[in-house]
Amino acid sequence: MSSSAPRFDRGHTDDLMSFLTAAPSPYHAVATAAERLEKAGFRQMLETDAWDGTSGGKYVLRGGAIIAWYVPEGAAAHTPFRIVGAHTDSPNLRVKPQPDMGAHGWRQIAVEIYGGPLLNSWLDRDLGLAGRLTLRDGTTRLVNIDRPLLRVPQLAIHMDRGIYEKGLQLDKQKHMQPIWGLGDVVHEGDLISFLEEETGLPAGEVSGWDLMTHSVEAPAYLGRDRELLAGPRMDNLLSVHSCTAALAAVSASGDLPYIPVLAAFDHEENGSQADTGADGPLLGSVLERSVFARGGSYEDKARAFAGTVCLSSDTGHAVHPNYGERHDPTHHPRANGGPILKVNVNQRYATDGSGRAVFAAACEKAGVPWQTFVSNNAMPCGTTIGPITAARHGIQTVDIGVAILSMHSARELCGADDPYLLANALSTFLAG
């Protein structure tokens, strides 16, 4: 392994558990990533300020997205980028604009379904509430009620005797509204008043909110030999954590042939079409401004982009022991088998043969085993930020990730070794 690429071990997985707990929303995820980068010497750049061309680590925050990059000393304006990409959002239940509701003596919170969650995984689970409050002066405040506050109760089997024949059927509007107390009278504004009290804000100070539920059960090692990891939001905070760790590590490793970049976007789970999503202008704007701040021209920017490669890291599907027939018969990614290369010839993933070679070289140099994922031809394939990044910015992109079970559940499962194997591959890729 190259001396310029730091080595991660099982301690990385321990740290991932802390990261998952600290990041119950995309806003918390980028704040936590930024805090870690600050400790590594990075500094925040405001989009409204003029940027300078100095070397060192820098980052931009916008909502639930973060773009961070490290400029080596003496880097030319046309120096290519090496990008590791991920997304910060996960499927969940999100609070509606008028949240206070109730029925039959139960106090409830009105929620909307975000992304494509496995709805049954949110039933009878102790839920907290987290996200972002916007104050009257336009500033924002993070909030995290990380204790049992809400619960979506399932109907008792005695009142749904046909469930074994017809299967569990959940109506997104009628059956997914959580309870949070008792009372016949619903006072409009109760939830926000409660959050103002919890965060020490004056009454009436909050004028907007972006709030979501999360399971308060802590991440944990699982199994006889503790070889598995169970936890929330691994799709895709597992990748955000590894990307952040890899960038922070290589920034301390001295001379680099590329400019390493972390690009973690919001709203992947609902199409990426947002100013903080991969289909928005944020990444291109930051990269362009970095080139121009170092005295570069449009020609320099074009040269830099032409030599840039992005590893889009998102979770994929490990072969399921109870549903093996749903997988491609010749591609069975296994937990703790190393990161996966994700391939789809219809460009649901951006990987091609030359991208495969880039990823294989990074894994070989890092001493990391790797696997290939491709969908069963009879099953629709998901997608990632990879094809969007490739098409929008014209840069070579390779889709990779870690194989997990229970994707889009409130609690997912992966091999406990795979997070640090991914981080090793990412750091070697960034180090060139």
Q: How confident is the model at residue 4, as a pLDDT?
A: 60
Strands 309-313 and 396-401: parallel
Q: Does the pLDDT value for residue 246 go beyond 60?
A: yes
Q: Average pLDDT in the 43-65 region?
A: 97
The closest of 67, 61, 68, 417 to 248, measured between CA atoms, is 68
DSSP 89-107: ---EEEEEEEEEEEETTEE
Q: How confident is the model at residue 223, as a pLDDT?
A: 97
Banded pLDDT at 266 (limits 50, 70, 90): very high
Q: How confident is the model at residue 164, as a pLDDT?
A: 86
Residue with tokens 């795979």: 418
Q: Average pLDDT in the 64-77 region?
A: 97
Number of H helices, E strands in the chain: 10, 20
Residue with tokens 């085993």: 369
Q: How confident is the model at residue 253, as a pLDDT?
A: 83
Q: Are 263 and 84 in contact (CB under 8 A)?
A: yes
Which tokens in the block code for residue 8? 């991660």
Tally Cβ neighbours within 10 Å of residue 289. 17
**Rounded distance, CA 229 to CA 246, Å?**
20
Banded pLDDT at 3 (limits 50, 70, 90): very low
Question: In this structure, what are the phi and psi dihedrals at residue 415, rounded to the nearest 5 degrees?
Answer: -75, 140
Q: How confident is the model at residue 123, as a pLDDT?
A: 98
Q: Are 36 and 244 in contact (CB under 8 A)?
A: yes
Q: Are 351 and 360 in contact (CB under 8 A)?
A: no
In this prediction, what percent of the chain has a pLDDT beyond 90? Answer: 94
Q: How confident is the model at residue 1, as a pLDDT?
A: 35
What value does the mean pLDDT of the chain take?
96
**Rounded distance, CA 69 to CA 67, Å?**
7
Q: Are 312 and 422 in contact (CB under 8 A)?
A: no
According to DSSP, residue 205 is labeled: -
Q: Average pLDDT in the 254-267 region?
A: 95
Q: 3-class SS at 11? A: helix
pTM for this prediction: 0.96
| Adjacent-strand bridge partners of 166 | none
Is residue 236 reached through a cis peptide bond, with omega within 30 degrees of 0 on the bond before it? yes
Q: How confident is the model at residue 184, as a pLDDT?
A: 77
Q: Does the pLDDT value for residue 32 go beyond 90?
A: yes
In this prediction, what percent of the chain has a pLDDT beyond 70? Answer: 99
The closest of 236, 182, 308, 190 to 65, measured between CA atoms, is 236
Q: Are 377 and 288 in contact (CB under 8 A)?
A: no
**Rounded distance, CA 395 to CA 389, Å?**
7
Banded pLDDT at 2 (limits 50, 70, 90): very low
Q: Average pLDDT in the 123-146 region?
A: 98
